[in-house]
Structure 1
Amino acid sequence: MRFTSLGSGSEGNALVVEVSEGASTTRVLLDCGFSVRELQRRLLRVGLEFADLDALIVTHEHTDHVGSSLVLAKKANLPVFMSWGTALASGADDGRVDLRILWGGEALALGDIEVHPYTVPHDAREPLQFVFSDGDRRLGVLTDTGCATPHITAVLGGCDALILECNHDRQMLAASRYPASLKARIAGDLGHLANDAAAALLGQIERSHLKHLIAAHLSQQNNTAVLAQAALAAVAGCVPDEIGVATQAEGFGWRVL
């Protein structure tokens, strides 16, 4: 099992998860917050093409996640998986694409990949986040949630790799030029995790199998990689450089479980 981010942040998100079993390989794309042309460029950077993808999964309808998902699904003839709320909000329910509905708590198999959707508090119609597994190892993804819940900590416990939102530093956000309404939205219980909130969540998760920890969805205006790494490292008990960072421009390269 391996995974790579094609970019993470408010300007676009996409993650590839791949599982190989014998001669077969299954690859899914989680979110497509870029144009089709930009996604193609980013895929080529990690050695992939549209034809290498088997399915597209969308977490929610915000532009930096849904992006060109419907165009890509039609162009590449990919089934697209999302919640019914996300389908209604994004227009995916109009028959243009091969739409498959996901429900939080109901796992499904996509080739050799086990997909476990789970619900999160975020200001979208029916957002989902995901844990991916090959049957032995688990990759947890949490990029858009306003707060931690007991359900989230339970679902992410025991993961071998975790991509965890560290959206903003509270002081940087408070001092920013953002309108008060936007600051309140970001910092609210349906917004995005601050560094300290992500660290607190990490502290509640069972981490005995955790080998890869990556900070994601960092605000380019209201956070820095150094601050995010320091917050997570303090809980993980490691040096900050051991915490990976998913950047907007580059994401991160292939990681293997």
Structure 2
Amino acid sequence: MRFASLGSGSHGNATLASRGETTLLVDCGFGIREATRRLWSLGVDPATLTAILITHEHIDHVRGVMSLARRFALPLYMTAGSWLALQPDADIRVELVVPERPVVIGDIEVTPVTVPHDAREPVQYLLQSDRHRLGLLTDLGFVTPHVVKRYQRCDALFIECNHDARMLADGPYPMALKRRVSGRLGHLSNVQAFDLLRELGTDRMQRLVASHLSEKNNRPELAFDALRPLLDGDDDRLAIACQTQPLDWQVVV
């Protein structure tokens, strides 16, 4: 299995996962022109995508979803809550997913996982192929026991490091937005990501990607320094996904 990021941050998120003849796009927070450009930069013809998985309805995750689905006749997989929030047109094929119930899409088994976030029915995804498991985990306000249980034994993990707590506290956001970001339905901080990884253990993880970094409340070096103590000196396992350009393909063997 391999995976890549078209970009990740406050203004747009999209992730690719591929195995065999199956290529899944998870969210698309970029307009169709930019999304298409970034897909081609990773060697992916948008017309060859198998499906788009949606985590939740926030615009930084769905800006280009409907346009891509319509232009390339791609099915959308989402929860009933996301469907109610987004109200896709009748000409777009929608497959409803049920949290915690796996569904097989081509060569990849997809399990939607319930997470705490301020959306209608948000999920994140576990992607399984043969003996490999990729975890996608962003947009959650705190780590529940359920999340810890479900994200065991990942060979690769795409994990949220949205903010540095000090930068958020001292930064320019209004107090209400600071409370929302740091609240139980908001986003994980660098420290929360560290605590989760310490609980999960990183011995099995071949690739770890810090993602969804806030441009105003975090810096790549802060996220990197927060997580690197868990890697036993093998810093090459850790990458940082950024907003402005794709993260190239990461391979799990």
Q: Is the 8 A contact 1:85 1:126 kept in 2?
A: yes
Contact persistence 1:157–1:207 (CA under 8 A): no
- Pairwise CA RMSD of aligned residues? 1.2
Counterpart of 2:194 in structure 1 is 199
- CA gap of 1:156–1:110, structure 2 versus 1, over 3 A, is same
Contact 1:114 1:135 in 2 (8 A): no
Distance 1:239 1:78 in 2: 39
Q: How far has the Cα of 1:230 moved from its partner? A: 1.0
Distance in 1 separating the partners of 2:146 and 2:239: 25
**CA contact under 8 A between 1:18 and 1:27: conserved in structure 2?**
yes
What is the match of residue 58 of structure 1?
54
Shift of 1:238: 3.0
2:230 to 235, 239, 245: 235
Distance 1:242 1:225 in 2: 15
Residue of structure 2 aligned with 1:83, choices 72, 79, 82: 79
- TM-score of the two chains, using structure 1 as the length reference: 0.95
Give the whole-Å Cα distance in 2 for the aligned partners of 1:200 and 1:101.
33
Residue 48 of structure 1 deviates from its aligned partner by: 1.1
Matched, 1:213 2:178: no
Q: Conserved in 1, the CA contact under 8 Å of 2:209 and 2:240? A: yes
1: distance between equivalents of 2:233 and 2:211? 18
Per-residue deviation, residues 74-102 of structure 1 (Å, max 9, x unmatched): 1110110000101111122x423101101
Match of 1:159?
A: 154
Contact map agreement 1:36 1:72 (CA 8 A) in 2: yes
Whole-Å separation in 2 of the counterparts to 1:236 and 1:106: 32
Alpha-carbon distance between aligned partners in 2 of 1:172 and 1:206, rounded to the nearest angstrom: 27
- The secondary structure found in structure 1 opposite 2:4 is strand
Cα deviation, residue 208, structure 1: 3.4
SS in 1 for 2:230: helix
SS in structure 1 at match of 2:163: coil
- Measured in 2, the distance between the counterparts of 1:240 and 1:229 equals 9
The alpha-carbon deviation at position 147 of structure 1 amounts to 0.2
CA drift at 1:148 = 0.2
Once structures 1 and 2 are overlaid, which stretch shifts more, 200-209 or 247-256? 200-209
Q: Secondary structure of the residue that 1:219 maps to in structure 2?
A: coil
- The total of aligned residue pairs comes to 252
Instruction: Give the TM-score, by structure 2 length.
Output: 0.97
- Aligned partners of 1:140 and 1:162 also within 8 Å: yes
Equivalent residue, structure 2, for 1:27: 23
| 1:1-257 paired onto structure 2 within 5 Å | 1-20=1-20, 25-92=21-88, 94-238=89-233, 242-257=237-252
Moved more, 220-229 or 203-212: 203-212
Cα pair 2:206 2:237 within 8 Å, conserved: no
Q: CA deviation at 1:207?
A: 3.3
